[in-house]
């Protein structure tokens, strides 16, 4: 599903040029659950953003679902993104002015799903993450764990083929964290591909495969049992 070869990514500021990703290669099969680990600053988030088409790459090739997307323009990327990829962030990134229901509904609005259909799908997914009873609350009125479940619900409401999660349990205690991990596992079992960045060996155990990075390169891959 994802095939990245010889990826280079630099950050240039006035004084210095940082090599964030250096000649990196990655393959992810459809239906896989991959965890990405490595010390802080090794380029995990950068990689995830590139996979998610939020950021562009400087060199290399990126084939997504058999299509070369490295040179896609903003519009094409946005199109691809909203139909195929869901995001979960460490800091939940819900929209403060929208209720739980409306936050989850938003991706459906952007993909022009009719209202009745939207309602059905949002309710389904809220049911699944067990937050239905809070559907009319605003994000600030929820606990961190609840907020992250809403974020997961929003990421999957469009039935994306791929979910990208950047330290999804980073701001949660272990029981809330486990709930989120269970949710992701369920989704993966239902066929969704997942790429997750994490610092936690515990969370990494939920995945099929762990990719370890250092200084912008993959240094080791291990398959979990």
Partner 1 sequence: MNTENIKTAWRRLKNNKFYTAVNVLGLAVSLAAAMLIILWVQDERSFDKFHHDHERIYKVSSHLVGDGTKNVWLGSPSPVANLARENTNVEIASRITYDGNATLRNDSTHLKVSNMRILHADEEFFSLFNFPLRSGQVNTLFQQPKNAFLTQSTAIKLYGDENVIGEIFHFDDEQFTVVGIIEDFPQNSSIKANVILPLSYYAQRFTEYGGNGNWKTIDEDLGNYGFYTYMKLSPTASSSDVTNFVNSAFLKARNGAHFVDFSLDRLEDLHLISADGNKSALHVVQVFSIIAILLLAIGAINYVNLSTARSMESAKGIGIRKVIGASKKQLFFLFSTETVVIFFTAILLAVALVFLCVPAYNEISGKSLSFALGNMQVWLFISTAIVVTLLLAAIYPALQLSSFHAISALKGQLGNHFSNQTLRKALVVFQFSISITLIISTLIIGKQLQYIREINLGYDREHVFTVPLPYEAVQHIDAIHQELASVSAIQSTSLSEFYNLMDYGNATGDIEWSGKPASSNIIVARARIDEKFIPLMGLEFVEGNNLSGLPADSAAFVVNEELVKQMGLQAPYVGTEMSLHNIPGKIIGVLKNFNFKSLKEEVSPIVLWTHAYSSTLYVKTSANKTEEAIAAVAKVYEKYPSDYVFKYNFLDSQFDDLYKSDNRTGLLFNIFSGIAIFISVLGLFALTTYAAQIRIKEIGIRKVLGADVLGIVHLLSKDFILLVLIAITIACPVAWYLMNEWLSSFSYRTSISISLFVSGGVIAVLLAYVTIGLRAMQAALANPVNSLRDE
Ligand X SMILES: Nc1ncnc2c1ncn2[C@@H]1O[C@H](COP(=O)(O)OP(=O)(O)OP(=O)(O)O)[C@@H](O)[C@H]1O
Residues found near Mg ion in the complex (CB under 5 A):
45
Q: Whose Cβ is closer to partner 1: residue 140's or residue 223's?
A: 140
Cα-Cα-Cα-Cα dihedral sign, residues 206, 208, 212, 216: negative
Is residue 49 near partner 1 by the rule CB under 8 A? Answer: yes
Q: Among residues 4, 32, 43, 69, which is the contact residue for ligand X, using CB under 6 A?
A: 43
Q: Where in 4-23 is the site for ligand X (CB under 6 A)?
A: 11, 13, 18, 20
Contacts of 45 (CB under 8 A, 6+ apart): 166, 197
Is residue 91 near ligand X by the rule CB under 6 A? Answer: no
Give the contact letters, 82-121, x = binds to partner 1 (CB under 8 A), - = no. xx---x-x---xxxxxx---x---xx-xxx----------
Q: Whose Cβ is closer to ligand X: residue 83's or residue 199's?
A: 199
Q: Whose Cβ is closer to partner 1: residue 38's or residue 107's?
A: 107
Choose the stretch contacting ligand X; rule: CB under 6 A; options: 44-52, 55-63, 75-83, 118-126: 44-52
Q: Among residues 4, 24, 46, 207, which is the contact residue for ligand X, using CB under 6 A?
A: 46
Q: Among residues 154, 163, 192, 195, which is the contact residue for partner 1, using CB under 8 A?
A: 154
Q: Whose Cβ is closer to ligand X: residue 50's or residue 187's?
A: 50
Which residues in this chain contact ligand X in the complex, by CB under 6 A?
11, 13, 18, 20, 40-46
């Amino acid at each position: 599903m994802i095939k990245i070869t010889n990826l280079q990514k630099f950050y240039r500021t006035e004084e210095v040029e940082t090599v964030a990703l250096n000649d990196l290669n990655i393959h992810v099969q459809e239906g896989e659950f991959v965890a990405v680990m490595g010390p802080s600053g090794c380029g995990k988030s950068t990689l995830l953003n590139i996979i998610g088409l939020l950021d562009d790459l400087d060199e290399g090739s990126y084939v997504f679902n058999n299509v070369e997307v490295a040179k896609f323009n903003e519009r094409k990327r946005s199109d691809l993104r909203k139909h195929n990829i869901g995001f979960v962030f460490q800091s939940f990134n819900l929209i403060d002015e929208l209720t739980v229901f409306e936050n989850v509904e938003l991706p459906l609005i952007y993909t022009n799903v009719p209202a009745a259909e939207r309602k059905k799908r949002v309710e389904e997914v809220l049911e699944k993450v067990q937050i239905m009873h809070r559907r009319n609350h605003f994000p600030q009125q929820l606990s961190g764990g609840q907020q992250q479940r809403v974020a997961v619900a929003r990421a999957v409401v469009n039935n994306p083929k791929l979910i990208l999660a950047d330290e999804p349990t980073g701001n949660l205690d272990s029981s809330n964290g486990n709930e989120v991990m269970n949710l992701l596992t369920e989704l993966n079992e239902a066929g969704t591909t997942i790429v997750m960045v994490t610092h936690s060996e515990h969370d990494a155990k939920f995945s099929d495969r762990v990719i370890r990075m250092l200084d912008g390169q993959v240094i080791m891959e291990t398959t979990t049992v």
